[in-house]
Amino acid sequence: MSELVTHEFISEISRKHNIPAGWLMEDIQVRATDSISQWFLLQKIDDALAIGYPYAYLVGKVQFLDLTLRIKEGVFIPRPETEQLTDLAIQKIKEYGGNLVVADLCAGSGAIGLAIKKYVPENEVWLVERNPYACQIIRENAERLNIKVNLICQCCFSETTKSQLKHRVTFVISNPPYVLPKELNQVDRSVIQYEPQEAWLAPPSDPLYYYREIISQYGNPQKVLLFFEGGPSIYEDVLRLLHEAGYKKTSVIKDFSGKERFIIGEPSSTDE
Ligand SMILES: C[S@@+](CC[C@H](N)C(=O)[O-])C[C@H]1O[C@@H](n2cnc3c(N)ncnc32)[C@H](O)[C@@H]1O
């Protein structure tokens, strides 16, 4: 088997599954030494991708902004929209001059919280996640990237979590499970089959659960900035919850595909 055959196979897989050829090359070079085992590995990758198995799980990593994060099955794969949310949050934190206490609630792989601590390190950052597999990945990512964050491996509404965070946080960011049951037909087959449902599907009997609880348990219209990822079918309800909680300064920002995606509540000073 020649190197040329390997290169041609890489180009074919890259075109077929829309994956950067460089990533495939790097992956097979790490995992197989000679061109015959590389060819068999590529064949396995091709077969797995053909049945919708996520590439990130296959190679065990995912790119998030400038960070290469480790990821594994059982843990939600961070999305490009969330890179945009994180980017917006970092800009906002800079506007506020730093020294905030930031909580990334429902942290998954740790993408949001780790990126915030990396790019605006003068802030104290807490990550809260209840899935033990995800917590293990957060620890690995933080250690490998040498990013110092505080991690709470518990439900974000447990008494222990609240006792540590409730009266201290000044910036809460969350990408909670928000896909509505009626939207299931728009969800990629590969997400339904391979990503943990409890990470992306909103509680069917109460789709606004996370937003309402985060706003009521961590919000404070005089003190706490709230940054949410959501979607076109829920952003109006989230805005309403923010207004009901006393947030006067709210905004909705569209994602790169023009969909209402990010919902923000900013504190106003008492004399406003
Ligand atoms: C949509 S994923 C977002 C993960 C990550 N923040 C990201 O943007 O890639 C939601 C995450 O929330 C976690 N989660 C769900 N309910 C939770 C709760 N009550 N407390 C803490 N984590 C929770 C899930 O395990 C999952 O990892």
* DSSP per-residue codes, 169-181: -SEEEE----B-G
Q: Is 28 in the same domain as 92?
A: no
30: CA distance to ligand 1 center in Å?
31
Residue 61 in any domain: the answer is no
Give Dmax (Cα) for the chain.
Answer: 74
Tell me, what's the pLDDT at 6?
82
Average pLDDT over residues 108-112: 98
Q: Is the CB of 232 within 6 Å of ligand 1? A: no
Q: Is 172 left (phi over 0), alpha (psi -120 to 50) or beta?
A: beta
Average pLDDT over residues 183-203: 94
13: CA distance to ligand 1 center in Å?
32
| Strand partners of residue 69 | 62
Q: How many domains does the chain have?
A: 2
Q: Is 215 in the same domain as 261?
A: yes
199: CA distance to ligand 1 center in Å?
5
Q: Is 193 in the same domain as 259?
A: yes
Predicted confidence (pLDDT) at residue 3 exceeds the cutoff of 80: no
129: CA distance to ligand 1 center in Å?
6
Atom of ligand 1 lying closest to residue 78 CA: 9
Q: Do 28 and 55 contact (CB within 8 A), yes or no?
A: no
108: CA distance to ligand 1 center in Å?
5
45: CA distance to ligand 1 center in Å?
28
Burial of 134 (0-12, 13-18, 19+ CB in 10 A): buried
Distance in angstroms (rounded) separating the CA atoms of residues 59 and 20: 13
Per-residue HEC secondary structure of 140-166 comes to: HHHHHHCCCCEEECCCCCCHHHHHHHC
The residue contributing the CA closest to ligand 1 atom 13 is 106
Greater model confidence, 214 or 41: 214
Residue 63 in any domain: the answer is no
Q: Is 77 in the same domain as 45?
A: no
Q: Is 45 in the same domain as 89?
A: no
Atom of ligand 1 lying closest to residue 155 CA: 20
Instruction: Give the global pTM.
Output: 0.92
Predicted confidence (pLDDT) at residue 155 exceeds the cutoff of 60: yes
Q: What digits encode the pLDDT tens for the residues 202-229? A: 999 999 999 999 999 999 999 999 999 9
Q: Is 156 in the same domain as 28?
A: no
Q: Is the CB of 162 within 6 Å of ligand 1? A: no
Tell me, what's the pLDDT at 23?
82
Average pLDDT, the chain: 94
Per-residue pLDDT band at 1 (split at 50, 70, 90): low
Average pLDDT over residues 131-154: 98
Tell me, what's the pLDDT at 18?
79
Q: 10 Å Cβ neighbour count for 80?
A: 12
Greater model confidence, 31 or 3: 31
The residue contributing the CA closest to ligand 1 atom 9 is 78
Domain of 160?
A: 73-266
Percent of the chain with pLDDT over 70: 98
